[in-house]
């Protein structure tokens, strides 16, 4: 009897040691190989969808060339890619931060709308301010309102246990209506228009374009630096600061975090508010950098794409940055594809969704491509 137990313990230790050695390899697989497989398979399936809708092979080839050209093929393409990536990455960082803290925030869409609206209102309310004050203050207004809007869900969860998925969905649905209501107020609406459109952001409040010395049509704006700074800042918060440790601890094991003396309610509210601030910043950057005004539903699904982004980037700031550039590239390339090959840009939505299926279900990718991985998947992981 005792020998058999000893043997089992030995096996156990051996397995653990092996696992420790394997771990680097497995993390590499999860972080690099799975996403690469996911993108390739999604593109192949995208081609199959095109075939199924009667697009001939030559056009499919042309559309992939256009996709590549439109995303990274020229200076204009790169500019468009990065422009699309800015709000995606900012909102994605917020969602990733929430995921790390164990919060599933579906509400980025509403937080973007509220933040963008706040930035627009602030900017046209103080047209006299100089740029170096107006730009940051309007951005801060957007972040603040986004934080408050997300904070509602955080406070409700902390105080009553209301699940953030439901509350943020409801806050999203409400935000569309609040936006339309606000856009119809005489103070906000452009004079002489009957449809709900806000007044324009004054030139002093616009994020300056970075490449207009090359070509005035290049839309890349200073939000790029905001995005990079946010990536660095979120990385520092998550992995180097005390509050970030509290976020990650309560995300990984809420009970343990509580027993360690962390205030769970406070952490939930802080994490939700930070996520909302980043989403609000995304909305503000979009309004001040690209759109210059707020219109109904101007977020155009960025908040939902950002969920996909945060998953793809594994809730790691650097991963989210790369995922955002990938999605921005798909977005920009998709527009080119529509022009060059006549294939609808909605195909990009399919490809993005497929990428996430494969990313979020690594077991599925491992089942599809067993040869790409070091060892067979074990059930129960």
Partner 1 sequence: MTAVTTNPAAETLEGSSARRARITGGILIALALLVVFVLDVGAGSVATFKLTTARDAVQVGDLVVPGQFNYIAAAIIAFLGARQFLRGGGKWTSLSIGLGLALAVMAFLVWATADKSFNLTGMLQATMVRAIPIALGGLAGVLSERVAVVNIAIEGMLLAGAFTGALLGSVLGSWLGIVGAVAIGGLFGLMLAALVVTYRMDQIIAGVVINLLVLGLTSYVTSQVLAKPEFRHLNNAEVFRSWKIPLLGDIPVIGPMLFNQNIFVYGALILVAVATYYLFHTKGGLRARAVGEHPRAADTLGVDVYRTRYLHVTLAGMVAGFGGAWFTLGSVGRFDENMTNGRGFIGLAAMIFGRWHPVGALMAALIFGFADSLQQKLALLNTPIPSEFLAMAPYLATIVVVAGLIGKARPPAADGQPYVKE
- 169 vs 204, beta carbon nearer partner 1: 169
Question: Would you tell me how many other CB atoms lie within 10 Å of the CB of residue 204?
Answer: 17
Question: Does residue 341 interact with partner 1 by CB under 8 A?
Answer: no
**Distance of alpha carbon 37 from alpha carbon 42, whole angstroms:** 8
CA atoms within 13 A on the CB side of 40: 9
Footprint on residues 195-214 left by partner 1 (CB under 8 A): none
Of positions 7, 12, 18, 53, contacts partner 1 by CB under 8 A: 53
- 110 vs 202, beta carbon nearer partner 1: 110
**Can you say whether the dihedral through the CA atoms of 172, 174, 178, 181 is positive or negative?**
positive
Q: What is the CA radius of gyration of the chain?
A: 23
- 140 vs 357, beta carbon nearer partner 1: 357
**Distance of alpha carbon 330 from alpha carbon 131, whole angstroms:** 33
Question: In this structure, are residues 223 and 282 in contact, taking their beta carbons and an 8 Å threshold?
Answer: no
* Shortest spacing between CB 143 and partner 1, in angstroms: 23
* Shortest spacing between CB 380 and partner 1, in angstroms: 6
- 13 vs 185, beta carbon nearer partner 1: 185
162 token code pair: 């209301």
Of positions 106, 108, 207, 234, contacts partner 1 by CB under 8 A: 106
Question: Does residue 356 interact with partner 1 by CB under 8 A?
Answer: yes
168 token code pair: 């943020």
* Residue in 72, 59, 33 with CA at minimum distance from that of residue 347: 59
Of positions 112, 117, 156, 224, contacts partner 1 by CB under 8 A: 156
Stretch that binds partner 1, among 198-206, 234-242, 276-284, 357-365 (CB under 8 A): 357-365
Collapsing DSSP to helix, strand or coil, 223 comes out as helix
Of positions 78, 89, 171, 270, contacts partner 1 by CB under 8 A: 171
Footprint on residues 248-287 left by partner 1 (CB under 8 A): 258, 264-265
* Residue in 254, 222, 234 with CA at minimum distance from that of residue 82: 222
Question: Does residue 174 interact with partner 1 by CB under 8 A?
Answer: yes
Of positions 51, 75, 361, 374, contacts partner 1 by CB under 8 A: 361
In Å, how far are 49, 64, 206, 229, 330 from 53, measured between CA atoms?
6, 16, 42, 43, 20
Question: In this structure, are residues 278 and 90 in contact, taking their beta carbons and an 8 Å threshold?
Answer: yes
Binding mask 63-102 for partner 1 (x = CB under 8 A): ----------------------------------------
* Shortest spacing between CB 128 and partner 1, in angstroms: 31
């Amino acid at each position: 009897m005792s020998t058999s137990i000893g043997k089992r313990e030995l096996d156990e230790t051996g397995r653990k040691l092996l696992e420790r050695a394997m771990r680097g390899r497995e993390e590499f697989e999860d972080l690099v190989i799975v996403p690469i497989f996911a993108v390739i398979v999604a593109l192949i399936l995208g081609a199959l969808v095109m075939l199924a809708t009667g697009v001939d092979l030559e056009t499919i080839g042309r559309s992939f060339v256009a996709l590549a050209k439109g995303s990274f093929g020229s200076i204009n393409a790169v500019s468009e890619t990065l422009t699309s990536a800015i709000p995606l990455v900012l909102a994605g960082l917020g969602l990733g931060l929430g995921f790390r803290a164990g919060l599933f925030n579906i509400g980025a869409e509403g937080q973007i709308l509220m933040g963008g609206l706040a930035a627009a209102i602030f900017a046209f309310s103080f047209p006299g301010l100089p740029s170096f004050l107006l730009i940051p203050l309007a951005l801060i207004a957007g972040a603040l309102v986004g934080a408050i809007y997300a904070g509602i869900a955080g406070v409700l969860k902390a105080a009553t246990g209301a699940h953030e998925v439901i509350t943020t969905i409801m806050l999203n649905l409400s935000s569309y209506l609040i936006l339309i209501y606000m856009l119809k107020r005489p103070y906000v609406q452009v004079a002489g228009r009957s449809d709900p459109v806000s007044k324009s952001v004054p030139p002093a409040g616009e994020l300056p374009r970075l490449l207009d010395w090359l070509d005035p049509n290049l839309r890349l704006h200073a939000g790029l630096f905001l995005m990079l700074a946010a990536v660095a800042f979120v990385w520092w918060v998550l992995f180097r600061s005390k509050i970030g440790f509290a976020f990650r601890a309560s995300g990984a094991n809420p009970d343990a975090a509580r027993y360690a003396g962390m205030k769970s309610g406070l952490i939930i509210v802080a994490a939700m508010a930070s996520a909302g601030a980043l989403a609000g910043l995304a909305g503000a950057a979009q309004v001040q950098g690209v759109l210059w005004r707020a219109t109904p539903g101007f977020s155009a699904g960025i908040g939902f794409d950002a969920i996909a982004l945060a998953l793809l980037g594994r809730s790691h700031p650097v991963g989210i940055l790369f995922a955002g550039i990938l999605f921005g590239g798909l977005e920009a390339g998709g527009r080119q594809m529509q022009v060059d090959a006549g294939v609808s840009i909605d195909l990009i939505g399919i490809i993005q969704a497929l990428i996430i299926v494969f990313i979020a279900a690594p077991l599925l990718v491992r089942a599809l491509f067993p040869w790409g991985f070091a060892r067979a998947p074990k059930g129960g992981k």
